[in-house]
Amino acid sequence: MECFGAFEVIPGPVSSTVAADCKRGWESFQGSCYIFITEDLSYYDALTICNAEGYDLLEVTSEAENTHMKNLVTARKVAAVWLGMNNLFNQGQWVYSSNGSPLTYTKLTKPKTQQERCMQLAADGTWSNEFCGKANFFICEVQIRKEHLSSWPQTFRTTVRVHLTTGLAPSVVVGFSTRPVGVGQGSATGRQHPASIAQLVDSHPDCGHRQTASDVHVPL
The pLDDT tens digits for 44-101 are 999 999 999 889 999 999 999 999 999 999 999 999 999 999 999 887 789 999 989 9
Q: For residue 8, is it within any domain? A: no
Q: What are phi and psi of 73, to 5 degrees?
A: -65, -45
The bridge status of strand 95-96 relative to strand 192-197 is: unpaired
Summarize the confidence of residues 148-175 as an average pLDDT.
36
Q: What is the pLDDT of residues 208-220, one digit of tens each?
A: 443 343 333 333 3
The candidate with the shortest Cα–Cα distance to 150, out of 118, 105, 186, 120, is 186
Query: Domain total for the chain?
Result: 1
Contact 158, 18 (CB under 8 A): no
Give me the chain's average pLDDT, please: 68
Q: What is the CATH number of the domain that holds 126?
A: 3.10.100.10
Q: Please report, as a single letter, which amino acid is at residue 67.
A: T
pLDDT of 185 higher than 80: no
Which is more confident, 172 or 124? 124
Instruction: Transcribe 72-125 into DSSP letters.
Output: HHHHTT-SEEEEEEE-SSSTT--EETTT-PBPS-----S---TT--EEEEETTS
Q: For residue 220, is it within any domain? A: no
pLDDT of 43 higher than 70: yes
pLDDT of residue 192: 35
Q: How far apart are CA 89 and CA 119, in angstroms?
A: 14
pLDDT confidence bin for 207, thresholds 50/70/90: very low
**Which residues lie across from 160 on neighbouring strands?**
9, 177
Enclosing domain of residue 69: 27-148
Contact 217, 194 (CB under 8 A): yes
Summarize the confidence of residues 154-180 as an average pLDDT.
35
The candidate with the shortest Cα–Cα distance to 56, out of 80, 29, 82, 38, is 82
Q: For residue 107, is it within any domain? A: yes
pLDDT of residue 145: 65
Q: For residue 7, is it within any domain? A: no
The candidate with the shortest Cα–Cα distance to 43, out of 61, 26, 57, is 57
pLDDT of 166 higher than 60: no
Q: For residue 153, is it within any domain? A: no
Q: How many whole angstroms from its chain centre is CA 141?
A: 12
Q: Which helix (H) or strand (E) holds 157?
A: strand 155-165
Q: For residue 67, is it within any domain? A: yes
Q: What is the pTM of this model?
A: 0.58
Q: For residue 36, is it within any domain? A: yes
Q: For residue 115, is it within any domain? A: yes
3-state secondary structure of 150: helix
pLDDT of residue 135: 97
pLDDT of residue 20: 55
Task: Give the count of beta carbons closer than 10 Å to the beta carbon of residue 58.
Answer: 27
